[in-house]
Amino acid sequence: MSPFWKTVLCLTLFAAWRSQVEFRSMTSRRPLDCAQRCPCSGESYLHHHHHDPYTYSHAQAPDPMLATARRFAEAPPGGDSVVGGDGKASSQLRLAREVGLRAAAGRGSNFIVSPLSIHAALALVAAGARDETLQELLGFLGSASLDELHDAAWLGLVGKLNGLTQTSFACGVWADRGHELQPEFMATAASRYAATAESVDFSLEAEKARRRVNAFVEDATNGLVRDVLPPGSVDSTTVVVLANALYFKGAWAQPFDQSATFTAPFHTPDGSVVRVPFMTTGLFDFERQVAAYPGFRALKLPYKIDYGDHHAPSPQAAFYMLILLPDDGGSLADLYDQAVATPEFIKSHTPADEVPAGRFMVPKFKFTFEFEASEDMQKLGVARAFGGGDFLAMVSGGDGLFISGVYHKAAIEVDEVGTVAAAATAVVMQQSGSAGPPVDFVADRPFLFAIVEEKTSAVLFLGHVVNPLAE
C-alpha cells in the first residue's frame, strides 16, 4: 500500500475512534440533546477583546474510571489570605454567606458580592473612627490596628488596580458643606485609596448629591453598576457618603470557541430544569485545572496575565476564576458553611495541577445583584458605628455620627472570551441627636464562583449561580 493510502486509512480510523469517544461522553451521565447545540449569538462586553486563536470542537475526552477520579490538589503559593478569603478577614466571607444563602433560599436568585469593595469602603470608614467604634470596625476587618490595616497586602493590590489594563478602582468621599473633613483623614483617603473629596449640599439638595455619587460609580464601572444609592438613601440629615467602584475585565488564558457552545439542561434548586448555553472544551484541549474533594469539585480558570507596566519583568497581578460545584445531592449551603469554617478554604481548594478533562461544561451567565448590609454587619459584631459612633477623626462634629446604610451592588458576565465584572459599595453616614484519570466538570446545577488575585489571595468577587438564564 502506498504512503498516501496509508495516511488516508490512519485518518479514517482516527475519525471513527473520536466519534465513538464523543458519543460515549455525551451519553454517559444525562442526555444533553447535543443536536440542539448552537453558536453564541449577540455581542457581550468582551467580544471586542483581542484573544489568541484556538481551534475547538465539541468532541470530548474519554471518561473511564470515574470512581477513582478523586484528586486532592495542593494549595498554590501565595501570601496571606485577605479580604473575604479566610483567616483574619473571614467576616467578609460570613457576610457573603448570610446574604448569599438568603438569596438562594428566598428568591432562588443568583448572587454576587465584592469582598474587596466592601472591605475597602469599611476600611476608609475605620480611618475616621475612634475608640470603641474603631475597635469594632477593626474586628470586622480582621486587623488589630489602623497601621496593620493600612499595611495589609490587599491595600497594596488596590493601589495596583489602576495600573493594570484589566482592572480599575475608584474611591470618593462626599461631605456636606456644613461639615469639614479632618486633614489627617483626607490625607489617608488620598494617599491610601487615591480618593477624591467633594463638598455637596445634602441639607438642601440631597437628591442632586445622590445622583452625583451614582454618576461617579456608573462612570468608574463603565456603566455596569448604576444607582448604587437607591432613592431615599440620603436626605437632609446626611453628613458624608464614602463610596468605591471596582471594575474587572479579563480574557481567559484558554478562551472557549463560540461555535462549540451548545444548549443543555441546568438543574435549579427547586427541581425544575432550564435549558442554557454551555461552553465546553476543544478537540485537543484535554487538560484543565480540576480537582475533586469530598462533597464537591473545583475548577480553576486562569485569565490572561496582565503585566501592567510592559517593562516589568513579572506580572503585577494574576487573576483566575474558581468554580466550586457540589456533588449530586450536595448544596450551596454546605459549601458556604465549609468556606466559613475552614481556614484558607479558597486558597487551599484552588487546583494547582492540570489533569485530563472528561466531560467539561461551564454555563454562560450574566446578572446583577444588590443588597443593603447594615443588619448583617450588626449581627457580625459591628454595633456602635450604626448607633451613634465616634467619627471625630473623619469630620467636624463627627461625635454621634452613625452609618445609616451600607449599599452594595455588583454585576458579572461570563462568556466564551472571558469575564467582565464590576461592583460598588457606598456607606451613608448621618448625624443623630499532577495528571490522573479524566475528571468530569459538568456545572449543570447550582455552583459557587469567585474571582481571585493569585499573589494575595484577595477575593475580588464571590457569588453563586442557581439559574444561568436569570438576570
Q: Which of 147, 184, 132 is nearest to 394 (CA)?
A: 184
What is the C-alpha to C-alpha distance for residues 404 and 2, in angstroms, rounded to an integer?
83
Q: What angle do CA 422, 346, 364 make, to 5 degrees?
A: 45
Give the per-residue SS3 of 232-259.
CCCCCCEEEEEEEEEEEEEEECCCCCHH
What is the C-alpha to C-alpha distance for residues 67 and 219, in angstroms, rounded to an integer?
50
Q: Residues 42-70: pLDDT tens digits? A: 333 233 333 332 222 222 333 322 222 33
Cα-trace Rg, the chain = 24
For the chain, the domains span 91-243+367-410
- 3-class SS of residue 110: coil
Cell matching residue 155: 491595600
The model's pTM is: 0.79
Q: What angle do CA 380, 111, 466 make, to 5 degrees?
A: 125
Cell matching residue 75: 494549595
Contact 213, 428 (CB under 8 A): no
- Compare 342 and 114 and report the one with higher pLDDT: 114
What is the C-alpha to C-alpha distance for residues 340 and 91, in angstroms, rounded to an integer?
9
- Range in 53-57, 73-77, 310-314, 391-395 the model is least confident about: 53-57
Helices 115-126 and 131-141: angle between axes, nearest 10 degrees: 160
pLDDT of 310 reads: 57
pLDDT of 181 reads: 95
Q: Which of 322, 367, 332, 280 is nearest to 32 (CA)?
A: 280
- Across 223-229, average pLDDT: 97
- Range in 127-141, 290-304, 348-362 the model is least confident about: 348-362
* Secondary element (H or E) of residue 338: helix 332-341
Q: Residues 179-198: pLDDT tens digits? A: 999 999 999 999 999 999 99
pLDDT of 50 reads: 33
| pLDDT class of 398 with cuts at 50, 70, 90 | confident
Cell matching residue 40: 453564541
Question: 442 forms bridges with which residues in the sheet?
Answer: 361
pLDDT of 435 reads: 44
- Across 251-260, average pLDDT: 91
pLDDT of 271 reads: 86
Cell matching residue 30: 444525562
User: Would you tell me how many other CB atoms lie within 10 Å of the CB of residue 114?
Assistant: 33
Q: Residues 403-426: pLDDT tens digits? A: 999 999 999 999 999 999 999 999
Q: Residues 289-320: pLDDT tens digits? A: 999 999 999 999 999 987 766 556 677 889 99
Question: 465 forms bridges with which residues in the sheet?
Answer: 447
91-243+367-410: CATH, from 3.30.497.10, 3.30.830.10, 3.30.70.20, 1.20.1740.10: 3.30.497.10
Q: For residue 77, what are the contacts with CB-CB under 8 A and spacing of at least 6?
A: none
Average pLDDT over all residues of the chain: 81
| pLDDT class of 176 with cuts at 50, 70, 90 | very high
Q: Residues 12-38: pLDDT tens digits? A: 444 444 433 333 333 333 332 332 333
Q: For residue 44, what are the contacts with CB-CB under 8 A and spacing of at least 6?
A: 366, 413, 415, 417, 420
pLDDT of 3 reads: 53
pLDDT of 402 reads: 94
- Across 351-361, average pLDDT: 88
Contact 467, 443 (CB under 8 A): no
